Amino acid sequence: MRKKILLIILIFITGEECFSQGYSLWLSGNGAFETGYNTSQGAYVFRQHIYFSPNSGESILDTGIYDINNLPVGSRFHAYDTPNFNNVTCDTYGTYQLDKLETVFVGPEANGCSSKIKYYTTHSTNQKINQWAVILPKYVQPQIANRERILTDQLFSSTINNFSDTPVDIPNVRWEYQTDNNTVFWTSFPSNILNKFPMNSTVQEILVNETNPIENIRILRVRFLLSPPLGPLTSSFPFVTYDRKPTVYSGILIFDIFNPSPQLLSFTPSNTQCSYTDDGSFSMNLDRDLNVDEKLVASLFFENAFMPGDYNLLTQKDTEDLIDNGDGTYTYIWPSDTPILAGNYKVRYQTLDTSDPNPVWSSLEGAEMGFPIGNPPPITFSATKQNDVYCKDGSDGAIQLNASGGVGGFKYELNNSGTWTPFTTTNTHTITGLPKGTKTIKVQDANGCTEQE
């Protein structure tokens, strides 16, 4: 009578392991297979499969990606002997806890009585692979409104895709990407993050080997794949045949890459020149120049005088040229053909790629706090006769001027001569050497502002 020994080993992710975010079991290799061996103790066969084990029933798993949904994941195998097994009881391997982000493969080990299916976490080229398994984060395609990234953004920034596990390198699982119109060839991530899970890198770290990605890349597609290494199909000397289990691919995740607006380094408002003019302005010091075909659009908002804190759009201006400051920074100056009255304002700006048939606005930047545009106080002055001429046809009359307001730096003009003479002191000046007669005097400040009636 044939004698049969049944050996069963189970490995699980137990129900105590709780996944707060989505994780999937990645599997390469058929779920049901048999391997035969002949030894001095007899011939026997192993059968093994990885399966989900809910409360009732089992499901054999083949190559693919399976949502875990908090179900335990296990593996079962059976060992059968022949009549020549001589009643030897083989040792059993204990249960194995398969953790997230850990690679495990199963393959046979033939060594006399201890011949059995065994689980490994490292692989050498002489080990046969029956199934290769790993539990990986389940990344979800962001909605269109949430898939925009600039170079300094973390690629996976949404809560559902931002896993808190400590990043580790997972052998034989790698990341790759495509950009823009290249939908055929895939490029591997840089070596330092090629096998990293979870992926916490920025777009810039992923595209570090690309030429000027800030200008040249608008669409980024990423995926990751499980590609088990070669393992021997048979090792019968002198011939060795190798095979590779199927490669398993994730879905493609798509992101829109846009060039951020130049960053605001400093902001300088400029008051109106005179108390009666509307030539206020402002300048913005930015961290970079505009790229070719990039346009900056500045939007100016004014505060409602009757509703403090309520700002309304006044006007918009655009430019494709900034002033080079020679130190790596660039300046935008509000154009003089659109003057600004005294009041409280806000400004926001963003840039647009005008070469794109479907242009996308870059990040919106600007002065979050309101800024004032002031005006100098009105200029007032008085002219007081200090003395008349002392003799007929003399030229020794004198007039004293007193001025205030404006921005200082006062000058006067006598009898519409076109000649402006600076005051001898800050606010006062005495005009001497005057002949008899009526005098017309004007006073202006350093901005050229005069007294208004």
**Could you report the per-residue pLDDT of 108-154, keeping only the tens digit for each?**
654 444 444 555 567 777 777 777 888 899 999 998 878 889 888 99
Cα–Cα distances (Å) from 412 to 8, 16, 436, 441, 448, in that order, read 108, 90, 19, 7, 11
Phi/psi at 35 (5° precision): -130, 125
For the chain, which residues score pLDDT lower than 50? 1-20, 34-49, 51-58, 74-96, 110-116, 235-239
Q: Where are the domains of the chain?
A: 9-137, 144-257, 264-373, 380-444
* pLDDT, position 444: 95
* pLDDT, position 372: 93
**CA 138/CA 141 separation, integer angstroms:** 10
The CATH class of 264-373 is mainly beta
What's the full length of the chain, in residues?
A: 453
127-152 burial string, b = 16+ CB within 10 Å, else e? bbbbbbbbbbbbbeebeeeebbbbbe
* pLDDT, position 124: 74
Cα–Cα distances (Å) from 286 to 268, 296, 327, 366, in that order, read 12, 11, 11, 11
Task: Determine the longest span between alpha carbons in the chain, in angstroms.
Answer: 156
Whether this prediction's pTM lies above 0.85 is answered by no
C-alpha closest to that of 197 among 227, 172, 179, 177: 172
Q: Report DSSP state, residue 113.
A: B
